[in-house]
Structure 1
Amino acid sequence: MSKTCSNFQRLHLHGPTMGTRWSVTLDAALSSQQQTALHQDLAAVLERVDRQMSPFRADSDLLRCNCTPPGQWLELPPEFLQVLDCALEVCRLSEGAFDPGVGDLVQAWGFGSASAPDPAAIGHAQQQPRPVTWEILERQGSRLRKQAPIALDLCGIAKGFAVDLMTAKLRQHGIQHALVALDGELYALGSQASGHAWPVAIESPEPGRRALHGVVELQDTAVATSGDYRHYFTLGNTRIAHSMDRQRRAPVRNDVASVTVLACSCMWADAWATALLVLGSNAGLALAQRLGLEALWLLRRGNAWVELGLGRWIT
């Protein structure tokens, strides 16, 4: 509640979730009771997404799905299926660059519940047949069954979906001016009460430190960034990033340090940021141009960053 614009106050709500933190900055005229109710509703939305899609919770719908044998129908929540449908659509459009069926690789490389790479598990995961994910999942309404063993992982899209749900909850509370953030995924709801767009920082992809690369101003737009500079570990002199390359059956390794995507849905932006990171600069740019995506790549060139942009980032 640091500043006033007309009858609105600048409010800041935040809390822990999914191993990170969420925050909402909003301009609104809310009583303390209304603020408390809004905070509780936002926290409940995030708890619901985590309970359904977390790979770290033994009671999550995701792990329940992964543990269900092939051929057996499983009833799943509508939101889980909504996220899976979007993940499979991006998987198809990106020809597998974004793949929700790489949970075994994520786990083997130490980015799941395991805290370190497991060479035996990596070898096993790399030797297994890896059918096209959307061809081995069958839907009948709210029921899903696998036609072959597969370990789903929705970490590349679930946070974006959570931001979309938080935004919808803010609208239900009558909020018109807010910036919603969860890790590297954000949504600008309307403008600031002053009428100015919300400024969102684009980080410089430097491991171990926070540095500003630039700022993009947003209104009624989602933004998501994927990169290899935050969630990684070092093996010898090599940085091993958390995003999996289905074709290599290993973590992504190319010249892309980060990709930032703008879209009307944060779930869509989140998935495409990962897909374009995995595709690399050449194939990623070609596909993004064909699909009309708005994106900014930061590429490593020696000790410098080179920008490659589409949409408002075309130079």
Structure 2
Amino acid sequence: MRRRRFLALAAAFACAPGLARAETWRGFALGAEVSVTLEGPPRETHRTLADIPAMLDRIEDLFSLYRETSSLSRLNGSGHLRRPDKRFLALMRQADAAHRLTGGLFDPTVQPLWHAHATGADTAWAQSLVAWRRVRFDAAGIVLGRHQALTFNGIAQGYATDLVCDLLRQRGFTRTLVDIGEQAALGGPYRLGLADPVFGAVGQRSVTDGAIATSSPGALRLGTAHHILGPHGEDPLWSTVSIEAASATLADALSTAAVFMPLERLQRLKADAALTRITVIDASGRLRSL
């Protein structure tokens, strides 16, 4: 997966003197640079951070488009997947919820359209394949419509972020910041910089026990198209959208779809999804916060 957003950066601990030392692990997963900053006793933090690479590798085995043996690649190749891993099924349910919350603007079946734009293939035919309603899934299996394929490039990084946070919480940690293209915090506050691919650094946000996800359509181009594609040919309305929510999975998916929503629709989304904040940057560089 190519990184689809120009993201918030320069996360910093707001530590007071006398608190335990923070340790950071850095790597790469799901098309994003990854960092996990963990505060606690050195022995416990070292041991836990050492487990992060293997965990991320298992997540890639589920959701990577570029591993031929991943669950997603096998689903796209055959059109069906029997008895999906419980985490895969959980993400399908999260994607379905995001699809409904956004009135269909979040749609993982855009993968053939994305591929057509990237390779110069027939986009009209690929557009006809975009329809989440044709996908069937339950614990027994997942079945795609004919010629369909899925991408979780607008939600998997957030889901991976939440999975890592869940692991750290289970091990008793209460102060950590996880960044897998989206950011989620246990404890805090942590200060995050908000950046736009055109206008650069435009502001800062502080997060405590929550998540932030940021999407910028102009961060990558597919020929003449933006790399965040509207499922029905919608054009992006914002240069950058940043969403703060209780989970990184929800923030990730909704920030992807929110780039196509006017302000009044964003207001409804904020209420419907119980979001903490939506920040948008328009084509002139103006920042607005809901």
Tell me by how many angstroms 1:140 deviates: 3.6
Distance 2:63 2:38 in 1: 27
Among 22, 46, 49, which residue is 1:10 paired with?
22
Pair 23,48 (structure 1): closer, same or farther in 2 beyond 3 Å: same
Structure 1 counterpart of 2:42, from 15, 30, 45 = 30
Kindly report the root-mean-square deviation, in angstroms, between the aligned alpha carbons of the 2 structures. 2.4
Aligned residue runs from structure 1 range 209-248, under 5 A: 211-232=200-221, 235=224, 240-248=225-233
Higher RCO (CA 8 Å, separation ≥ 6 residues): 2
TM-score after normalising by structure 2: 0.86
Contact 1:78–1:142 at 8 Å: present in 2 too?
A: no
Give the letter for the 1:264 counterpart: A
Contact 1:228–1:258 (8 Å) recurs in 2: yes
**Percent same amino acid at aligned positions?**
25
SS of the residue corresponding to residue 284 of structure 1 reads helix
Q: Point out the structure with max Rg over C-alpha.
A: 1
Instruction: State the alpha-carbon separation in 2 of the partners of residues 171 and 149 from structure 1.
Output: 40
**Could you say which residue in structure 1 is the equivalent of 2:123?**
122
**Between 14-23 and 90-99, the greater mean CA deviation after superposition:** 14-23
After TM superposition, list the pairs within 5 Å mapping 1:230-269 onto structure 2: 230-232=219-221, 235=224, 240-248=225-233, 253-269=235-251
Q: How does 1:1-315 map to 2 (within 5 A)?
A: 5-6=17-18, 8-31=20-43, 34-69=44-79, 74-110=82-118, 117-118=119-120, 120-126=121-127, 128=128, 130-131=130-131, 133=132, 135-183=133-181, 185-191=182-188, 197-203=189-195, 205-207=196-198, 211-232=200-221, 235=224, 240-248=225-233, 253-293=235-275, 294-301=277-284, 305-310=285-290
Structure-2 change in CA distance of 1:199 and 1:142 (3 Å)? farther
- Shift of residue 198, structure 1, vs aligned partner: 0.9
- Give, in angstroms, the shift of residue 4 of structure 1: 8.2
Separation in 1, partners of 2:98, 2:76: 20
Aligned counterparts of 2:16 and 2:238: Cα–Cα separation in 1: 41
What's the CA shift string for 1:204-245, capped at 9, x where partnerless? x134x8x3211111110100001123233564xxxx321110
Distance 2:246 2:101 in 1: 18
Distance 2:32 2:167 in 1: 20
Q: Shift in Å at residue 290 of structure 1? A: 4.8
2: distance between equivalents of 1:68 and 1:158? 21
For these two proteins, the number of residue pairs brought into alignment is 276
Q: 4+ runs of 1 displaced by more than 6 Å?
A: none
Contact in 1 for aligned 2:61/2:71 (Cα 8 Å): yes
Q: Which amino acid aligns with 1:309?
A: S
**Residue 186 of structure 1 contacts residue 266 of structure 1 at CA under 8 Å; is this kept in 2?**
yes
Distance, in Å, in 2 between the alignment partners of 1:286 and 1:39 is 39
Check the 8 A contact 2:83/2:140 in 1, yes or no: yes
Distance 1:18 1:254, change over 3 A: closer
So what's the TM-score if we normalise by structure 1? 0.80
The whole-number CA distance in structure 2 between the counterparts of 1:247 and 1:105 is 10
